[in-house]
Amino acid sequence: MKLNIKDTFNKELSADPNHNNTRRQVFEAAYSYATPRTPSKPNLLHVSDEMLEAIGLAEEDKHSKAFLHVFSGAKVIENTAPYAMCYGGHQFGSWAGQLGDGRAINLTEVEHDNKSWTLQLKGAGETPYSRSADGLAVLRSSVREHLCSEAMYHLGVPTTRSLSLSLTGDQVLRDVLYDGNAAYEKGAVVCRVAPSFIRFGNFQIFAARRDMKNLKKLTDYTIRHFFPNVEAGTKEGYAQFFQEVAKRTLDMIIHWQRVGFVHGVMNTDNMSILGLTIDYGPYGWLEGYDENWTPNTTDAQGKRYRFSYQGRMALWNLLQLGNALVQLTENTKPLQDVLEKFQAQYSEKYTAMMRQKLGFQTEREEDEEMIRELEKMLQLTETDMTIFFRNLAHISRDAKTAEGETFLEPIMQAFYKPAEVKDEMLKKWLLWFDKYLNRLKEENISDNERRVLMNTVNPKYVLRNYMAQLAIDKADKGDYSLIDELYQMLKKPYDEQPKNEKWFAKRPEWARHKVGCSMLSCSS
């Protein structure tokens, strides 16, 4: 197995001089050296062939001992120096101080095809940042992270990626519902891959400690490597950097809203500086469209990270990043300007995205009103988001609402209780569709052309919460086939795949209140 090693983070930024693996506050350093823990019986369960190729490896590498050893943590790659990053963060609105990679260890950076990738093990043991936890991860959360990273990428959502999923052979104690019923689960390691895993919190920790030297070093490093259009080392450049981060973050959130993804823990330590979806924990997919839904039981009270709040939470997080970067710009004005524009830009991009979902190629002022009405309609009775938008493309613009519900057939499939859609509610839907059909008549494209376009933004297949859970339940019993089946299907989420039609279905009733399907916790 030959990787083209090109380390930069641990070469260009400050190292923690203490090499002991003891838990501590780490000052004036961007990272601490950390060696992955040796798994007792590593077992490779799944590899993303695309990521294998992306980092410059071949099919036969996947079957090598070296691959298993490196990506389960058993062996360190020659001439590399694995490390855990130091970062802080605001958790659920409060400053939490130093957090850091408590169970993530960056192995190395590789370059292939002119692209740089950081390889990072998640769940490979403790680091100086593990605080009171064990540095490990369980199979359940690792399957979820591995599958969802790859699925999101293929949906066109900016995201970190996942190369591999392994069992460690060790048992890990977890209290899933934090109710005193801890149980042993299988330990697992995922190898995550991204150009960088730097988070808002990496900047925040230096700013909080008034460590100007390292704040500047980290910012200049980030700009030089990942923001080619921004000038490093100047106040104007730092402001421009902030603007670019805000733009990337905004674009990412619009994609989340488009596909119905709820992150669940948008703390500033879980916000990638590159605008990538990062840290797949208690995330979830909207099944019944519900703007107040959050998958995270830890967030059930305040619902801070509910579906419809993701834009404003991103803005709140950007404000915290701005508070850190102001130490470099020494001027709040340019940063404030970026924040002030965010809301309007969000509305504009959100509307543009929804127009695409509805199949409008042109812009009309009344679209916003129609979108708002639709969002309300979708919540009158439980309506599956994915099925609704996918099947909307089947409605002909020449349909006649006067003929009652027959033309609504494809939409009926999206309702969890179609029998409820009668009388007043049916009238409301017909009224909305009246406007919608008239609006479609203003577009100069045929039903077929519109369907093709709509099918590029409205996925047919997403990783519904219960699907991941089925794969987990099987994997727990030693059957890993569903992991690959879902992985393969989710590579082409916008295609019709007749053999996978069974996955284009509403969530089954058994999954409605099941742990792992509708209720997820941070315990992973």
Active site positions, annotated? 269
Distance CA 132, CA 105 (A): 17
Of residues 329 and 521, the one with the C-beta less far from Mg ion: 521
Of residues 130 and 164, the one with the C-beta less far from ligand AMP: 130
Of residues 101 and 170, the one with the C-beta less far from ligand AMP: 101
Inter-residue contact 136 to 31 (CB < 8 Å): no
- 263: Cβ–Cβ under 8 A, 6 or more apart, which residues? 256, 270, 277, 283, 305, 310
CB of 105 to Mg ion, least distance (A): 14
Rule CB under 6 A: say whether 522 interacts with ligand AMP: yes
Inter-residue contact 32 to 84 (CB < 8 Å): yes
Rule CB under 6 A: say whether 133 interacts with ligand AMP: yes
Whole-number Cα distances in Å, 345 to 124, 157, 250, 417? 40, 18, 8, 36
- Helix then strand then coil, in percent of the chain rounded to 5, is 45, 15, 40
**Interface residues for ligand AMP in 455-494 (CB under 6 A)?**
none
CB of 307 to ligand AMP, least distance (A): 19
Nearest CA to 499 out of 461, 454, 471, 466 is that of 461
Distance CA 164, CA 476 (A): 17
Name the residue whose CB lies closest to Mg ion. Answer: 279
Inter-residue contact 421 to 429 (CB < 8 Å): yes
CB of 99 to ligand AMP, least distance (A): 3
Rule CB under 6 A: say whether 161 interacts with ligand AMP: no
Rule CB under 6 A: say whether 102 interacts with ligand AMP: yes
Rule CB under 6 A: say whether 208 interacts with ligand AMP: no
Inter-residue contact 235 to 328 (CB < 8 Å): yes
CB of 269 to Mg ion, least distance (A): 5
Beta bridge partners of 117: 110
CB of 298 to ligand AMP, least distance (A): 9
Q: Which amino acid is at 444?
A: N
Where does this chain touch ligand AMP (CB under 6 A) — which range of 47-55, 126-134, 180-188, 484-492? 126-134
Rule CB under 6 A: say whether 39 interacts with ligand AMP: no
CA dihedral 131, 132, 134, 136 (to 10 degrees): -70
Of residues 145 and 384, the one with the C-beta less far from Mg ion: 145
Q: Contact positions toward Mg ion, by CB under 5 A?
A: 270, 279
Residue 465's binding partner out of Mg ion, ligand AMP, none, with CB under 5 to 8 Å set by partner kind: none
* Cα angle: 377, vertex 382, 387; to 5 degrees: 85
Nearest CA to 120 out of 89, 149, 98, 156 is that of 149
Inter-residue contact 204 to 320 (CB < 8 Å): yes
Look-up of token digits 């404003």: 312
Q: Which residue in 101, 170, 185, 220 binds ligand AMP (CB under 6 A)?
A: 101
The phi and psi torsions of 48 (rounded to 5 degrees) equal -80, 110
Q: Which residue in 136, 314, 395, 462 binds ligand AMP (CB under 6 A)?
A: 136
Q: Which residue in 39, 73, 88, 135 binds ligand AMP (CB under 6 A)?
A: 135
Name the residue whose CB lies closest to ligand AMP. Answer: 102
Q: Which residue in 14, 106, 108, 130 binds ligand AMP (CB under 6 A)?
A: 130
Rule CB under 6 A: say whether 270 interacts with ligand AMP: yes
CB of 203 to Mg ion, least distance (A): 15
CB of 172 to ligand AMP, least distance (A): 8
Token pair, residue 45, equals 């369960």
* Residues binding ligand AMP (CB under 6 A): 99-103, 129-130, 133-136, 265, 269-270, 279, 281, 522
